[in-house]
């Protein structure tokens, strides 16, 4: 059954789920643990009669205005004294929770855990909790860049036209460095908010925010991602190595998934011998990429911890899933020492590049397979300036990983033969079903560019001449995919902003790197490069006119 508020044309899922949640309270509000133990999950005005062992009874009553404020009082009613454990849920967001039992402070309170109180309980005993309702923030990234969400305790705050004089599209920015607020009295109305606060905007104006659950109750527009200035970097996560990894002695690469749109930021990689990250043994600062090679002389078989901080003029943010631990193992082979291209991109963000002057030998990168190619004249008629694919061959290169957010592909191509209805790959990073972070291919006489995975993307086919050289450049910049031919913009479309889930670890020219079906290319290729950054249109034009700078 679906419900919607009378007069509201949209289906209101909250109208359904809120009553359902209330109906389920009896299943999880207070739960039993073991024979006598009680677990308190729900905080709110309530009274419950519960059986204990040996026929005893307990009445547990809560007095609170939560979530309007963080004060919760739990009163126990017992027919006879009893020894058992009451475990209290301490919310993760409550950074500094104060718990008292009969007026005495209780130690061991940890956010995101249960606090077990085991004692001889008497009739009339009281437990008091003061939850930390301090304002919390979540800085937006990608499509929500330059915006912030605000939380009062567990409540997400929102701007609602009902309580303000401007529309959502005219909402002035808040100042992240000044998020002081004053409570707004809640007047009697049909749908009163739980909380309402007045904030000062960066321009000195006033804006009222209320709890998200109430926003839009009168059919007005509302938003919870609020424009803001002076923002610190957004939250981000570590990538590799995994927690508890054993790494070879010597240089090792550390990677993280840095914020996409935090401007003027740098990163700091910190290594310590303790999980508290106190007294770091090694620190790399002012990093401008989301990866770094650690060459510190650390001791084998000692546990170390690492984390990363994003820093800008307005704050410092640590990776949300750090720190992670690692151990150096002197018995492991270090691929970085064998070939750095297996581990990291070049300093100029080159992932892999080759002139293709008669062979696939890379200037930077690792050639994994070379088959079905011959030496042919290049676009300037130099005798060994290109390679020709015979319709059954490929050049396959191993890469550290495919760039997740931005990349640029350069390639000269001269297709041969008759246009065919099946796919003929010029470039592909296909790793598995629905995981190809970039493919450039021919179908009939059209050049196509696509992405499989993360939401998929495809640009309309663009005519390409057979028997003539064409310069191809494909640029992915966050959520935008662009095709250039002979230095000119031809197609632009949407793309997945991030490809964090790709397993691509190799790429191929002339074929699909990991699929044996007939997707082979027939024709010539020359001057190939893949970069882990998005080139501008001017840079693409310059490469077309003056050539690659691979050396």
Q: What is the CATH number of the domain that holds 118?
A: 2.60.420
Domain membership of residue 19 (yes or no) is no
CA distance 220 to 442: 50
CA distance 343 to 345: 7
Residue 145 token pair = 């860049």
Domain membership of residue 12 (yes or no) is no
Residue 409 near residue 529, CB atoms below 8 Å:
yes
Element housing 372 (H / E): strand 366-376
Q: Say if residue 371 is in the same domain as residue 496.
A: yes
Q: Say if residue 378 is in the same domain as residue 517.
A: yes
* Structural domains in the chain (count): 4
Residue that terminates a domain, selected from 305, 322, 338: 338
The pTM assigned to this predicted structure is 0.72
Domain membership of residue 290 (yes or no) is yes
In the chain, count of helices (H) and strands (E)? Answer: 4, 41
Residue that terminates a domain, selected from 208, 229, 250: 229
Q: Say if residue 504 is in the same domain as residue 366.
A: yes
Query: At 532, which CATH number?
Result: 2.60.120.200
Q: Say if residue 383 is in the same domain as residue 509.
A: yes
Domain hosting 143: range is: 135-229
Q: Say if residue 346 is in the same domain as residue 327.
A: no
Q: How far is CA 373 from the centre of its chain?
A: 40
Tens digit of each residue's pLDDT, the chain (551 residues): 344 455 555 556 666 777 777 888 888 999 988 878 999 999 999 999 988 877 788 999 999 999 999 999 999 999 899 999 999 999 999 999 999 999 999 999 999 999 999 999 999 999 999 999 999 999 998 778 899 999 999 999 999 999 999 999 999 999 999 999 999 998 889 999 999 999 999 999 999 999 999 999 899 999 999 999 999 999 999 989 999 999 999 889 898 887 655 567 889 999 999 999 999 999 999 987 788 888 878 999 999 999 999 999 999 999 999 999 999 999 999 887 878 888 889 999 999 999 999 999 999 999 999 999 999 999 888 878 999 999 999 999 999 889 988 999 999 999 998 887 889 999 999 998 888 999 999 999 999 999 997 778 999 999 999 999 999 999 999 999 999 999 999 999 999 988 877 888 899 999 999 998 889 999 999 999 999 999 999 999 999 999 999 98
Q: Say if residue 472 is in the same domain as residue 334.
A: no
Strand partners, 119: 84
């Amino acid at each position: 059954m679906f419900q919607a508020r009378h007069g509201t044309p949209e289906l209101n899922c909250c109208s359904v789920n809120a009553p359902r949640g209330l109906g389920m309270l009896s299943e999880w509000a207070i739960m039993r643990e073991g024979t006598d133990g009680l677990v308190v999950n729900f905080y709110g005005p309530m009274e419950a009669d519960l059986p204990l062992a040996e026929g005893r009874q307990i009445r547990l009553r809560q007095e609170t205005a939560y979530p309007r404020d963080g004060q919760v009082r739990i009163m126990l009613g017992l027919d006879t004294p009893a020894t058992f454990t009451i475990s209290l849920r301490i919310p993760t967001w409550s950074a500094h929770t104060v718990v008292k039992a009969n007026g005495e402070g209780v130690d061991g309170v940890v956010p995101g855990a249960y606090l077990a109180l085991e004692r001889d309980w008497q009739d009339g005993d009281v437990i008091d909790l003061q939850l930390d309702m301090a304002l919390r923030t979540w800085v937006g990234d990608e499509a929500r860049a330059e915006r912030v969400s605000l939380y009062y305790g567990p409540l997400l705050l929102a701007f609602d036209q009902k309580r303000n004089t401007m529309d959502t599209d005219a909402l002035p920015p808040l100042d992240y460095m000044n998020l002081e607020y004053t409570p707004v009295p809640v007047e009697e109305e049909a749908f009163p908010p739980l909380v309402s606060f007045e904030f000062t905007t960066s321009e000195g104006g006033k804006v009222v925010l209320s709890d998200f659950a109430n926003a839009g109750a009168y059919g007005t527009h509302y938003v919870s991602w609020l424009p803001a200035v002076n923002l610190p970097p957004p939250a981000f996560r570590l990538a590799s190595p995994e927690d508890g990894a054993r790494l070879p002695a010597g240089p090792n690469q550390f990677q993280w998934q840095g914020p996409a749109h935090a401007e003027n930021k740098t990163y700091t990689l910190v290594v310590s011998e303790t999980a508290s990250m106190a007294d770091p043994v090694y620190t790399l600062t002012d990093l401008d990429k989301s990866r770094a090679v650690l060459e510190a002389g650390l001791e084998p078989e000692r546990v170390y911890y690492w984390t990363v901080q994003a820093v800008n003029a307005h704050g410092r943010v640590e990776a949300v899933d750090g720190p992670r631990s690692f151990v150096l193992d002197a018995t492991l082979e270090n691929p970085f020492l064998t070939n750095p291209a297996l581990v990291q991109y070049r300093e100029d963000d080159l992932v892999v590049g080759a002139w293709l002057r008669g062979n696939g030998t890379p200037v930077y990168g690792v050639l994994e397979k070379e088959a079905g190619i011959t030496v042919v004249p290049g676009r300037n008629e130099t005798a060994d300036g290109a390679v020709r694919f015979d319709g059954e061959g490929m050049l396959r290169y191993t890469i550290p990983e495919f760039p997740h957010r931005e990349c640029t592909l350069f390639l000269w191509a001269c297709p041969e033969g008759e246009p065919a209805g099946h796919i003929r790959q010029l470039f592909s990073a296909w790793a598995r079903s629905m995981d190809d972070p970039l493919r450039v291919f021919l179908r009939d006489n059209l050049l196509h560019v696509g992405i499989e995975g993360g939401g998929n993307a495809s640009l309309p086919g663009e005519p390409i001449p057979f028997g003539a050289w064409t310069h191809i450049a494909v640029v992915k910049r966050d959520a935008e995919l662009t095709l250039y031919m002979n230095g000119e913009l031809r197609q632009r479309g949407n793309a997945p902003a991030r490809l964090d889930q790709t397993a691509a670890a190799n790429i191929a020219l002339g074929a699909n790197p990991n699929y044996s079906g007939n997707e082979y290319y027939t024709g010539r290729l020359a001057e190939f490069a893949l970069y882990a950054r998005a080139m501008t249109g001017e840079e693409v034009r310059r490469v077309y006119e003056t050539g690659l700078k691979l050396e």
